Structure 1
C-alpha cells in the first residue's frame, strides 16, 4: 500500500519555564492509504503531540513529516493552513463551532473560502453528509440545541465537507457515553471502508480495539504496535482482550 503520511525521526519538546521538556524522542512512523490507526498510551506520553505533528498542526524541532509526497515541515503557515483545510479533516473531543451559526452553516464553513461560488452544491453535499450521520433534521438548529453525540456527528460532517484524504481524531469519543462512542466508531469505520485514512488518539481500549492497527506510546516513543483484522462487528471481546493484554505486557 502507498504511504500517505510519514514522520521521520521526529523530535519535539516544549519550553516550560526556563527548561525544555522533551515530548517526542526520535519517533518514526508511516501510515498507509486506507489504514485505520489508533494511538494509545498514558497521559503525557506524546500521543496527541504526534498526531499534531503528523497533521502539520504543530511544528517539530527535528525530523520530517511527509504527506502524500509533500514535505509538510517545509511549508509556511499559509501553505499549512491550505493543506489542512483541503486535504485533511479533524475531529476533536470537544467540537468547536461558532455560536452565531446554525449546525448546517458550521459544517459548510471550512469549504466556503475555496468554493464560495458553489454554495448550492456544497449545501447539497453537507445535507447528504448529515443524512448519512442521521442528523439531517438538525440543520437549522443552534449548537446549543443538540446533544453531545449529535454535535460530534456534525463535527464529522464538517471534517468531511472538503472530501479529505485523511481524518485525524484527538479523543473524538472522549466526552461521549459508551453508546454514543460506539455509534461514532461505527460512522468512522464506515468512512474508512469508503477509502478515507483515519488516525485516532484514544485512551480507551474499547475504541482502539475497533481499529486495525494500534501504536502504543510511552515516554515519547512508540514502544509497540498491534495489527488486527478488519472489524466485522462480532469479535469485540476477543479484540479487546488482545489490546488489554498487550497494554499489560508493555506496562501502560
Structure 2
C-alpha cells in the first residue's frame, strides 16, 4: 500500500531561552492510504501539535514531513494553504463556522476560493454531502439554530468538499454527547471505508477503539502503537477493553 504521509524525526519546540520547551521530540510516523489512525495521550503530550506538524499548519524545527510524495519543507505558505484546502480536510472540536452565514453557505465558502465560476456545481456538491450526513433540511438555518452534532456534520461536509485524500480530526467528538459522538464516528468510519485516510486526535478510548491503529503519546514521544484492524461493531467491547488496558499499562 502507498504511503500517504511520512514524518521523520520531527522536533517542535515553543518558547525562547529558559522558557523553551520541546513539544515533539524526534517523532516518526508512517500512514498508508486508506488507513484510520487515532492518536491518544494526556494534555501536553504533543498529540495536537503532531497533527498540525504533519498537515503543514505548524512549521517544524527539525525532521521531515512528506505528504502525497511531496516534501512540505519545499512549499511556501501559499502552496501549503492550497495543499490543505485541496488534498486535506479538517474537522475540529468546535467547527469554525461564520455566524453571518447559513449552514449551506458555510459549507461552500472555502471551496469558492478556488472555483468561483462554478458556484452551481459547488452548491450541488454541498447538498449531496449534506444529504449523505443527514442535514439536508438545514441548509438555510443559522449556525445558532442547530445542535452541536449538526454543526459537526456541517464541518465534515466542508472538509469533504474538495474530495481530500486525508482528513485530520482534532477531538472531533469532544464537545458532543455520547449519542451525537457515535453518529459522527459512524460518518467518519463510512468516509474511511470509501477510501479516505483518517487521522484523529482524541482522549476518548471509545473513539480510538473504532480506528485501525492507535498511537499513544507522552512527553512528545510515541510510546506505543496498537493495531486493531478494521472496525466491526460486534467487536466494540473487546476493542474498548484492549485500549483501556493499554492506557493503564503505559500510564497515560
Residue 94 of structure 1 is matched in structure 2 by 94
Shift of 1:17: 7.7
Matched ranges for 1:54-73 at <5 A: 54-73=54-73
2:214 aligned counterpart, secondary structure:
strand
- How many angstroms apart in 2 are the aligned matches of 1:238 and 1:186? 18
Residue 124 of structure 1 is matched in structure 2 by 124
Shift of 1:229: 2.1
1:192 to 2:192 alignment: yes
2:233 aligned counterpart, secondary structure:
coil
Matched ranges for 1:222-237 at <5 A: 222-237=222-237
**How many residue pairs get matched?**
252
- How many angstroms apart in 1 are the aligned matches of 2:147 and 2:17? 39
Shift of 1:117: 1.1
Residue 169 of structure 2 is matched in structure 1 by 169
Q: Name segments (4+ residues, structure 1) moved above 4 Å.
A: none
- The more displaced of 11-20 and 48-57 is 11-20
- TM-score for the superposition, normalised by structure 2: 0.98
- How many angstroms apart in 1 are the aligned matches of 2:107 and 2:16? 36
- How many angstroms apart in 1 are the aligned matches of 2:104 and 2:217? 37
Residue 79 of structure 2 is matched in structure 1 by 79
- How many angstroms apart in 2 are the aligned matches of 1:251 and 1:16? 30
1:42 to 2:37 alignment: no
1:235 aligned counterpart, secondary structure:
helix
Shift of 1:18: 5.0
- How many angstroms apart in 2 are the aligned matches of 1:154 and 1:251? 36
